[in-house]
Structure formats: C-alpha cells, structure tokens
C-alpha cells in the first residue's frame, strides 16, 4: 500500500440486545480500525430494554469509546409479547461486574436515529452496513416506516435463524427471529443484500475452556472481562456442542466484516414462519428453488473456528496496546 492510499474503512451501525455474545461482538468492532461504528442502537431481547441499554453503555466504557452514540429502541416486539434470553444471567452480562456507566444514551428513539443516518447516507450516495445481533424490531420498524432508507444500506449482516440446526429456544426456531418473527419477515422481504450468521455457523465457533483460557492469558482488563464473560457462557451441554463451552453467535457478525475469508456460505430464499405457534419464527431456506423466488440471503454454512478465535484475540490485544478504534 502506498503512503497516499488510505486503508478501507467500512461504516457500520450496530443494532443489538447486549447480551453476553453481543458484548464480545461490540468489543471486537470498537477495537477495529477498519470499521467506523457510527452508532449503537439497542432493542429488547436477551434482557429487557433498560438492561440492554445499560449493558451497551458499560461496554462502550470498557472499550473507552465515549465518542460512540447509543440510542434506546423498541421495548417489545411488533405484535407479540416479549420473551427474554435464558443464558445471559440477571444482568445480561453473566457474572462480570462492570463500573456504573459514565455516560447516558442520546435523546430520541433508535428507529429515528437509524432512519436519519441512512437517509443522510443515501442523500450523498453513501451506504452503511447494518450489523444486527438481536431481534430485528428496530430495523424492521425503520424499514416499514421509511422504506427509502434502503438506498443508504449497503448490506445487512445479521445473527439469526437456524436451518440445518434445530432451534435454540424452541424445536424449530432461533431466539432472535422467534422474539420478533414479523420484523424478521419485513427484513427478509426488503430486497436488501443479507448475510445470515445462523446457528449452523455459530455452533462451529464454540468457546471451549481451552480457548477461553487462551483469551484469559492475554494482557489488559478488556481481555480479562471477556474471559470472565465467556467462562459464564459455558452451556455444559456436550451432547449438543460436542464438549464443554458455548457457541459465540454474535461475534461472527463482526468477524465476517473483518475477515470474510474465514467463512463460506450459499445463497437461498429465506422465509420466516409468522403464523404457526408450533414453528413460530422458523427460518426456512429454499435450497432447491421450490418456491420460484430469487435468493434473498447468503446463509453462512462454514466457519474457520480457529481463525475466528485468533481474530478475537487480535482485537482484544489492541485494547492492551492502547489502540482502540
């Protein structure tokens, strides 16, 4: 690279429900010079909205990124009653104890912020990548309220869904999509390019005790906090995961933006079940063109897990080297 050539920087907006694995995804992104995080919007999901907001503020402080605006969004799904995560602890961040937030959220609603940012990008011919690691309520509402924001979206990289894997909250459905299947339907019907990190991908990225120990040996208080969070994340379910540990779902979204070479996927049409209570929130992929409808997503099917955990370590090392952002 010549001295005159600036490195590529991808502008991103994070919509999330922190959440153990959301926290790790955010810390990776906030440490990465190739990502310009324009803002963080939070939604009810793993824990109620007041906790996801507080957790996002604490993660921002942990990353020493007070420049990042944070907005509170929807406190419930579009049409259904709220449900919450089962594995994130009372606070949503496991057993880790973080200081009281230094700052507060911005005034205004997350949906309004998303609309404003995306319309502003579209007005000057720019595009922003949306990273979604929680229920899609905020994004679905923004698209329904102001469809023209699509012109300002480069792509959506989302964690959600299950295809070859069974669900992680019901027999058929992954938690993020199950929580607000109607919002997920809006997003998958938007015509936007979507990359899907489903359970098929995240169950390949298991935070085993050995990998957690490697993170714990890294210098710096951020790596220590992540190791503590990941220790709490051990599901103790070797029948499902092949051994001790837990799947790191949401950080794969950040990793894909940083190292797409670590992933393989296949295009397909994705449908979301919104009527049957038995299979509510199920994501169904038309692998063999039975519907006659064009593919609307790239579903990630393979993850280089060792490469992903090495990348996570590189991101955390930046904090120890005083190089966040």
Residue 267 has pLDDT above 70, yes or no: yes
Residue 6 has pLDDT above 80, yes or no: no
- pLDDT score recorded for residue 237: 63
Kindly give, in sequence order, each residue whose CB lies less than 8 Å from that of residue 105, ignoring residues fewer than 6 positions away: 53, 57, 70, 71, 72
Mean pLDDT of 192-210: 96
CA-CA distance, 175 to 277, in Å (whole number)? 14
Query: Percent of the chain at pLDDT above 90?
Result: 86
- Of 147-156, 170-179, 239-248, give the lowest mean pLDDT range: 239-248
> Beta strand pairing status for 128-132 and 70-72?
unpaired
Would you state the structure tokens that stand for residue 157, as one six-digit string?
Answer: 């990289």
Residue 43 · residue 13 · CB < 8 Å? no
Residue 247 per-residue DSSP state: B
Q: Which residues are catalytic?
A: 249
Residue 133 confidence class, pLDDT cut points 50, 70, 90 = very high
- pLDDT score recorded for residue 312: 98
Residue 2 confidence class, pLDDT cut points 50, 70, 90 = very low
Count CB atoms within 10 A of the CB of residue 48.
Answer: 15
Mean pLDDT of 236-256: 84
CATH of 10-319, one of 3.40.50.2020, 3.40.50.620, 3.40.50.1820, 3.90.245.10: 3.90.245.10
Residue 91 confidence class, pLDDT cut points 50, 70, 90 = confident
Residue 17 has pLDDT above 70, yes or no: yes
Residue 5 confidence class, pLDDT cut points 50, 70, 90 = low
Residue 238 confidence class, pLDDT cut points 50, 70, 90 = low
The domains of the chain are located at 10-319
Residue with more model confidence, 218 or 88: 218
Residue 25 · residue 254 · CB < 8 Å? yes
Residue 301 has pLDDT above 50, yes or no: yes
Q: What is the pTM of this model?
A: 0.94
> What is the rounded average pLDDT for all residues in the chain?
93
Would you state the structure tokens that stand for residue 248, as one six-digit string?
Answer: 């790191």
Residue 325 has pLDDT above 80, yes or no: no
């Amino acid at each position: 690279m010549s001295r005159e050539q600036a490195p590529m920087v991808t502008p991103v907006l994070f919509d999330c429900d922190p959440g153990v694995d959301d926290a790790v995804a955010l810390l990776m992104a906030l440490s990465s010079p190739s990502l310009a995080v324009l803002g963080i919007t939070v939604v009810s999901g793993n824990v109620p909205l007041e906790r996801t907001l507080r957790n996002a503020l604490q993660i921002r402080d942990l990353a020493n990124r007070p420049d990042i605006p944070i907005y509170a969004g929807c406190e419930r799904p579009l049409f259904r009653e709220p449900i919450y995560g089962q594995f994130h602890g009372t606070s949503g961040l496991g057993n880790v104890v973080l200081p009281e937030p230094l700052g507060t959220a911005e005034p205004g609603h997350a949906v309004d912020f998303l609309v404003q940012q995306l319309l502003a990008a579209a007005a000057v011919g720019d595009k922003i990548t949306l990273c979604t690691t929680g229920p899609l309520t905020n994004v679905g509402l923004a698209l329904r309220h102001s469809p023209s924001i699509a012109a300002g979206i480069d792509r959506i990289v989302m964690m959600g869904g299950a295809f070859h894997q069974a669900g992680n909250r019901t027999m058929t459905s992954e938690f993020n999509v199950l929580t607000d299947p109607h919002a997920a339907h809006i997003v998958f019907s938007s015509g936007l390019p979507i990359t899907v990190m489903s359970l098929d991908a995240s169950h390949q990225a298991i935070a085993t005790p050995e990998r957690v120990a490697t993170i714990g040996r890294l210098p710096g208080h951020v790596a220590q906090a992540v190791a503590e969070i990941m220790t709490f994340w051990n599901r103790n379910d070797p029948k499902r995961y092949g051994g001790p540990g837990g799947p790191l779902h949401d950080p794969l979204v950040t990793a894909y933006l940083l190292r797409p070479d670590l992933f393989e996927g296949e295009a397909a049409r994705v449908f979301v079940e919104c009527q049957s209570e038995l299979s509510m929130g199920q994501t169904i992929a038309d692998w063999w063109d039975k519907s006659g409808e064009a593919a609307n997503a790239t579903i990630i099917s393979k993850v280089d897990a060792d490469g992903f955990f090495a990348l996570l370590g590189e991101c955390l090392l930046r904090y120890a080297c005083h190089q966040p952002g």
